[in-house]
Amino acid sequence: MGVMDQIELPTPIKYVFNWGRKYSLWCFNFGLACCAIEFIAASAARHDFIRHGVIPFAHGPRQADLLVVSGTLTDKMAPAVKRLYEQMPEPKYVISFGSCANCGGPYWDSYSVTKGVDQVIPVDVYVPGCPPRPEALLESIMRLQDLIQGESLKERMERRRRDPITLAAAGVPERESTT
Amino acid sequence: MSELSTRERIHPGTAPGEDYHLEIVGEGDFATADMTLSIGPAHPATHGVFRIVLEMDGERVRSARPVIGYMHRGFEKLAEYRDYRQIMALVNRHDWLSGFSNELGVALAVEQLMEFEVPDRAQWIRMLMAEWNRVLNHLMFVGSFALELGAITPMFYAFREREDIQHMMEAATGGRLHFTYNQVGGVKIDLPKGFLRTSAELTTITRKRLVDYRDLILGNEIFQARTKGVGALPTDVALSFGVTGPTLQATGLPEDSRVTEPYLKYGEIDVPVPVGENGDAFDRFFCLLGRIEASLDIIDQVLDHIGPGPVNSKLPKMVKAPEGATYVRTENPLGQLGYWLESDGGRTPWRLKMRTPSFSNVQAIPYLLEGVLVPDAVAVLGSVFFVVGDIDR
């Protein structure tokens, strides 16, 4: 990342820099279960999240900025998710899509399911639902874009270096109500 | 160069006594080592998290070994801790593309144990929903199989239809993928107003668009070149592996539980069963499209038969299946789904054993992949229709 995470950018430059980053998210879909179908539905014609600046066809984790974990993570699968996450370049963001990825969902008492992807990798935005509607994915992406717009890359990377597993205490900024 | 042994040439820097797990085939300058290629669990060429380990000789697959279990969530065990109402919300998730058909199997099994009489209208509604669910499932595979062969457009076409059908089913059930619409003794609530009319309209539209699919995919030269004669499965081999559904029908055997062992009201209507000839990837896809058409025909017949009446029956506060065991088999979109339900008279099943179609279908994959080229392996994997959650449960 060079100097971008070393120096605090002046506000106007930071604004433009973050604005550019938030509308060019290359997304890597880690499709695991049912939610992956809703992810595909969100990328298909009716919901079409490319209009939000998310490109769902990253060739692999090495070309991606955003990892969407959609579906049940099992203990057997967990090392693969962690490995793919580590292959992604910084700054990287994670959306946990669906109840299973959030906390285990309907398999909360199963012996083979990891109770939440956040036990393995840090998560920025959680999307509830089993499976969530495609609209929920669109909303989560907008929330993530708000987070990217408001953040300082230097601070983010400092936190990451201090503690690579838990993310930001800052979290996602509150959105103004649209109703 | 000539002093080097074959082994040293292929693996430079390794000591002669070192243990190799790779076998060297051929002689002299043609000697090559077999390569072990592990595809998955997260790989764009396989849908879901299916992992397969291929032993390669150049471009050719020598042997293939599926590694399953990446999606094992312990459904059979969890079902022993859920009561019969909660099970409906659990089982529709193991094959996530055919939620309604899964819960239908459990509902039928419990009703069989309790000797419950389901009202006529509920049975017709169940058939209607099961067939729409089948269309949804097959449309997904129409899109994904073409996508794996490199054609992106059919995916968008398939999702155009899927969204319309899901929207209609959501009006009745409240779910887009997992409907949880069945309950013991019938269905949850009656159909909303206008559902039957929308159904009739959508069958017409979908049938019209099926013509497009036929032209676009089946008539495509590249598609034919990549699928015809690839991964041919003889009927006897398919039967010995327990393969069912479109993969079995493609081999030319018109086996379908809706015909051979009718449940619900399938005995009263005409169920068309499409069959293929050679059992290759092309035929499997042909059968898939044929089954969409067959489902639309069934929906039309159901719409003629469905009449007014109650859709569910009054249940006791606690649904308890009497002591005993039963086996119910239904035709899931991907093949035959069986539930072995054993009850000790309590609130929860004592044992719920699943016989899922995808698990049996992927057993044929090592047979199919032997000796094919790598690009054909993708066509074979895509054409043996499976859902990973259905394999691993």
CB contact under 8 A, B97 and A84: no
Q: What is the reported pLDDT for B83?
A: 87
One-character DSSP codes across A78-126 = HHHHHHHHHHSPSS-EEEEESHHHHH-GGGTT-SSB-S-GGGTS--SEE
pLDDT at B131: 92
Q: How many CB contacts within 8 angstroms connect chain A with chain B? A: 80
pLDDT at B213: 87
Mean pLDDT of A20-28: 87
| Rounded (10°) CA dihedral B370, B33, B382, B146 | -130
Of B363, B355, B364, nearest to B332 by C-alpha is B355
Contacts with A112 from chain B: Cβ below 8 Å: 72-74
The mean pLDDT values, 10 residues at a time, for chain B of 393 residues are: 54 49 65 74 71 82 84 89 88 88 90 87 91 92 86 87 90 88 87 90 91 86 87 88 89 87 88 88 90 92 89 82 89 90 88 90 88 85 86 86
Strands B51-57 and B60-67, sheet pairing: antiparallel
Token pair of B278 as six digits? 């050679």
Query: In 3-state terms, what secondary structure has residue B84?
Result: helix
Taking 80 as the threshold, does the pLDDT of residue A98 lie above it? yes
Burial B36-70 (b: 16+ CB within 10 A, else e): eeebbbbeeebbbbbbbebbbbeeebbebebebbb
| Contact between B232 and B278 (Cβ < 8 Å) | yes
Q: Residue A76 corresponds to which tokens in the numbers above?
A: 């057997």
Q: Is the pLDDT of residue A121 over 60?
A: yes
Mutate to test the interface with A, among B38, B46, B51, B73 (most CBs of A within 10 A): B73
Q: Is the CB of A111 less than 8 angstroms away from the CB of B93?
A: no
ipTM for the assembly = 0.82
| Bridge partners, residue B330, by sequence | B337
In the stretch 331-390 of chain B, residues with CB closer than 8 A to chain A read 388-389
Looking at residue B378, what is its pLDDT?
84
- Provide the b/e sequence for B157-178 (b: ≥16 CB within 10 Å): bbbebbbbbbebbeebbebbbb
Q: Please compute, for residue A32, the number of CA atoms within 13 A of its CA located in the half-sphere on the CB side.
A: 31
CATH hierarchy code of domain B75-392:
1.10.645.10
Q: Do B93 and A38 touch (CB under 8 A)?
A: no
- Residue from A101, A97, A94, A111 nearest A165 by CA: A94
Answer whether residue A162 shows pLDDT above 80. no
DSSP code of residue B217? I
| C-alpha–C-alpha distance, residues B244 and B358, integer Å | 9
**Rounded-to-integer distance, Cα B380 and Cα B357, Å:** 17
Of B42, B97, B160, the CB nearest to A84: B42
Q: Min CA distance, A71 vs chain B (Å)? A: 10
Q: In sequence order, what are the beta bridge partners of A29?
A: A68
CA distance B339 to B109: 7
Domain boundaries, chain B: 2-67, 75-392
Q: Does B20 touch chain A (CB under 8 A)?
A: no
Residue with tokens 């090392």: A79
Compute CA distances A26 → A23, A29, A94, whole Å: 9, 10, 12
Q: How many helices (H) and strands (E) does chain B have?
A: 16, 10
CA-based nearest residue to B93, from B80, B106, B83: B106
Radius of gyration of chain A (CA): 16
Q: What is the DSSP letter of A74?
A: B
CA-to-CA distance for A67 and A81, rounded, in angstroms?
Answer: 10
The tens digit of pLDDT for each residue in B265-314 reads 888 898 888 888 888 889 999 999 999 999 999 999 999 988 888 888 88
> Is this prediction's pTM over 0.90?
no
Which pLDDT belongs to residue A48? 85
DSSP letters along B17-43, please?
Answer: TS---S-EES-GGG-EE-EEEEE-SS-
Residue B150, classed as helix, strand or coil, is: coil
Taking a contact as any Cβ pair under 8 Å apart, which residues of chain B between 133 and 152 contact chain A?
A: 140
Range from A48-62, A134-148, A156-170, B10-24 carrying the lowest mean pLDDT: B10-24
Amino acid present at B242: G
**CA-based nearest residue in chain A for residue B157:** A45
